[in-house]
Structure 1
């Protein structure tokens, strides 16, 4: 599997983030391409015909042997460096950018004026709680920045679970120790301009 088979990073704009369907679709597609099919991606790294085809090898189903076999170190490193970590980085970049958008002022919010009108009307309303105990309850509509912040928070939780699961499979197949956070952060550090490596 090459890096080109992973999902391309979108151009990051506030409009991209506020279109929650498009944001979710990007994350879903990226995850399904790499993490949801991690076992198949790892199996694709095996080269079972190194010594030539053996007809007797087709006489017995060997799924367990295939799933448990260790992969060559070079293939594992290449997969992690060129496919898995870039995919994670792309999703992290999107979530970090959208989190920034969610915490920034949003003067272009199309619902801003209507929410302000609703709030003003609610404040002018005279409430008699004895006649209607529920009349004092007012639930203003959520701003799109609040909705985006909730989405980013949820997707970050999902991302933690997915990365942990994928790293468990990578660790088993590649004999890799340590946490995914440590490995991913080390990869990021090595790629930074100050490290001199790419």
Structure 2
């Protein structure tokens, strides 16, 4: 079973380091979600039932869509899948809070102020230069972080839906609708244990 990726120390600087934030999310998704089929295949133990002599009567490979033991699937979801998802959710939530908080240490604040001052002094004559009215100030890093978090939450939702479809199919739990309800149930069980 794949172990969940270690969670980095979450600070505002980690959030503003968009390369590190994206890399953590990418590695976390690669370790669990992108390799979900392999992880579920590792849970399958065909030798547990013993040798079936009738299996030699079949020609060709067996179907790969064999279902996995429900207990092994539940254990995988509780120990690997849901903790990994929760870790990513916690980091994205924290970074969303950082993005909506004031940023007194923004290194681009002085640049934006000088750009705004220069913009006030500009002469705009769109008849002579139709592009002279355009002004694109430097974006505050909180705004860039908010855009990144919004995008990554969308990606996270897509990744979770695809992963959950594979889990439902391989674990024989087609009756489950979405991943949200089982995740909430796991969160409540985890809270009770604390």
Alignment TM-score, normalising by the size of structure 1 = 0.89
Q: May I ask how many residue pairs the two structures share in their alignment? A: 190
Cα deviation per residue 1:95-119 (whole Å; 9 max; x = unaligned)?
0011111111111111110111111
Alpha-carbon distance, 1:128 to partner: 2.1
How far apart in 2 are the matches of 1:179 and 1:197?
24
Q: Counterpart of 2:189 in 1: which secondary structure?
A: helix
How far apart in 2 are the matches of 1:197 and 1:143?
41
Query: Within 5 A, what are the aligned runs for 1:12-51?
Result: 12-51=10-49
How far apart in 2 are the matches of 1:130 and 1:121?
21
Asked if 1:174 corresponds to 2:171, the answer is: yes
Q: Counterpart of 1:44 in 2: which secondary structure?
A: helix
How far apart in 2 are the matches of 1:181 and 1:145?
29
How far apart in 2 are the matches of 1:174 and 1:61?
20
How far apart in 2 are the matches of 1:42 and 1:61?
19
Q: Counterpart of 1:129 in 2: which secondary structure?
A: coil
The corresponding residue for 2:67 is: 70
Unaligned residue ranges in structure 2 (runs of 5+): none
Cα deviation per residue 1:17-43 (whole Å; 9 max; x = unaligned)?
111111011000000000001011111
Q: RMSD between aligned alpha carbons?
A: 1.9
The corresponding residue for 2:156 is: 159
Query: Within 5 A, what are the aligned runs for 1:20-169?
Result: 20-52=18-50, 60-62=60-62, 65=63, 67-169=64-166
Alpha-carbon distance, 1:72 to partner: 1.0
How far apart in 2 are the matches of 1:105 and 1:51?
60
Alpha-carbon distance, 1:92 to partner: 0.2
Cα deviation per residue 1:56-91 (whole Å; 9 max; x = unaligned)?
76x8433xx2x3111111101100000000000000
Alignment TM-score, normalising by the size of structure 2 = 0.91
How far apart in 2 are the matches of 1:35 and 1:122?
47
Query: Within 5 A, what are the aligned runs for 1:2-21?
Result: 5-21=3-19
The corresponding residue for 2:193 is: 197
Alpha-carbon distance, 1:53 to partner: 5.8
